[in-house]
Amino acid sequence: MTPHTDRMRSHPPDGRFGGLWADLAGIGRDALRGGYARHGFDDADLQLREWFVEQARRRGLDTETDRNGNLWAWWGSPGPNAVVTGSHLDSVPGGGAFDGPLGVVSALLAVDELRLRGVRPAVPLALVCFAEEEGGRFGLPCLGSRLLVGAIDPDAARRLRDGDGISVADAMQRAGVDPAGAGPDPQRLAGIGAFVELHIEQGRLLRAADPTAAIGVGSSIVAHGRWRITVSGQGNHAGTTAPRDRHDPMIPAAGAVLAARRVIQAHPGAVATVGRLQPIPGGTNVIASSVDVWLDVRHGAAADTSALVDEILHEARAEAELEGCDLRVHRESMTDQVTFDPALTMDLSARLGAPAVPTGAGHDAGLLAPHVPTAMLFVRNPSGVSHAPDEYAETQDCLTGVRALADTLEGLLAPEAVPR
């Protein structure tokens, strides 16, 4: 692949990547689903956070936890026009090894590479691990970055609860973060001159753009949101209740699942997914009294996504009416389409010899993009599988990603290069 690899002066990540990756391999294994279960402020996440702090300190970086539970490691004193890179350490339930941690490991190794090149940053460099990016515990993606930029009301965030009834406030407190301080951090945000997130690609658009490319540059993120559909009926006995006497909420719930697949057929590029469905009480021989259905929809801009959801809900409501059930909808999150900094994107694409590709996956970079110059680097994913145990990237491609990130940071750390 890329022209930029020919001019590398040193290759320190080669021997260290495997060591750092091995450090993480045993933390948060998901015995039930395979892969990993690492969620915001749980035991596995706290272990990973300790690991990051230790790795940062070994490199002489000063670490801190901000008011929203995001971890920062600084090369140089925090100050204006800081260049920031990083990602997240948490996973979806049963997620793969690379989604999130690859960006953190690559950031640490990029610091090693820059030092071996003799780079002396003209502005501060920070590595960041954002909290609860996947929303796997509290249901809201990009929680740490949302709080940072003011995209969620702090009181609403503190009240979010996991499946065991533990609130965000309680979880933050257990992690040593004062939940009373959670909320927008305009001073920290104003100090960021540029943000670059490296991530494994989720999908196959990079391969479609250039089958030989090991890395790509992110151009945009489509709009995406999550909705919880609650269908209420009448709980009853599965063996003694005739079909004509049933008000079974599972029927409209199933209708919503099928409608999601049908509706997107008329909208090229759109995706709609029901990945979670929870009947109450959940007995095999019981007609449910209610069913919660979580719908994930991604398509174009926010208006396109909302219109798609309306079509799906129209069909689900018709099924609910036929079954004599009540249907209610709660929008849990909505993020509009994001375009990354065009000048930065074009510059990186040319400098790295890497194609620019969009993505349907959400990232912390998408929350920061409206506020600071932001870019993303993607590392090739041979299968395109993500959010699953089979997620994978070749070690050599990961090393190429580290060097591409180091190249990017070296350019941004020059005094005349930082966007203002």
328 has pLDDT over 80 = yes
Domain stop point among 335, 368, 400: 335
pLDDT tens-place string over residues 216-231: 999 999 999 999 999 9
- Kindly tell me if the per-residue pLDDT of 18 is higher than 70: yes
Whether 418 is in a domain gets the answer no
Q: Quick one: which of 146, 206, 262 has its CA closest to 377?
A: 206
For the beta sheet containing 290-298, the strands, ordered from the edge strand earlier in sequence to the opposite edge, are 271-280, 290-298, 224-232, 326-335
Residues 114, 214 share a domain:
yes
* pLDDT confidence of residue 320: 98
Is the pLDDT at 324 greater than 80? The verdict is yes
Residues 60 and 107 in one domain: yes
**Residue 89 sits in the same domain as residue 145:** yes
pLDDT band at 1 (very low <50, low <70, confident <90, very high): very low
Contact of 91 with 38, CB cutoff 8 Å: yes
CA distance linking residue 226 with residue 260, whole number of Å? 13
Of 335, 359, 377, which residue constitutes the final position of a domain? 335
Number of domains in the chain: 2
**Residue 31 domain boundaries:** 3-222+337-413
User: Which residue, 41, 71, 75, is CA-closest to 58?
Assistant: 75
25-35 pLDDT per residue, tens: 999 999 999 99
Q: Is the predicted pLDDT of residue 307 greater than 50, yes or no?
A: yes
**Average of per-residue pLDDT across 35-41:** 96
Query: pLDDT (tens digit, 9 = 90+) per residue, 270-288?
Result: 999 999 999 999 999 999 9
Write the pLDDT tens digit of every residue in 101-136.
Answer: 999 999 999 999 999 999 999 999 999 999 999 999
Q: Which of 253, 220, 227 is nearest to 339 (CA)?
A: 220
Give 60-101 pLDDT, tens digit per residue: 999 999 999 999 999 999 999 999 999 999 999 999 999 999
150 with 277, same domain?
no
Indicate which CATH number applies to the domain containing 188.
3.40.630.10
Predicted TM-score (pTM) of the model is 0.87
* CATH number of the domain within which 267 lies: 3.30.70.360
Q: Tell me what the mean pLDDT of segment 255-273 comes to.
A: 95
pLDDT surpasses 80 at 8: no
Q: Identify the pLDDT of residue 13.
A: 58
> Does the pLDDT at position 2 exceed 90?
no
What does the alpha-carbon distance between residue 190 and residue 177 come to, in Å, rounded to a whole number?
22
Same domain flag for 174 and 293: no
Q: How confident is the model at residue 415 (pLDDT cuts 50, 70, 90)?
A: low
Does 66 fall in a domain?
yes
Mean pLDDT of the chain: 93
Same-domain status, 34 and 68: yes
**Residues 168, 152 share a domain:** yes
For residue 387, pLDDT over 90 is answered with yes
Residue 181 has pLDDT above 50, yes or no: yes
Exposed/middle/buried for residue 110 (C-beta within 10 Å: 0-12, 13-18, 19+) = buried
pLDDT band at residue 417 using 50, 70 and 90 as cut-offs: low
Domain boundary among 315, 335, 355: 335
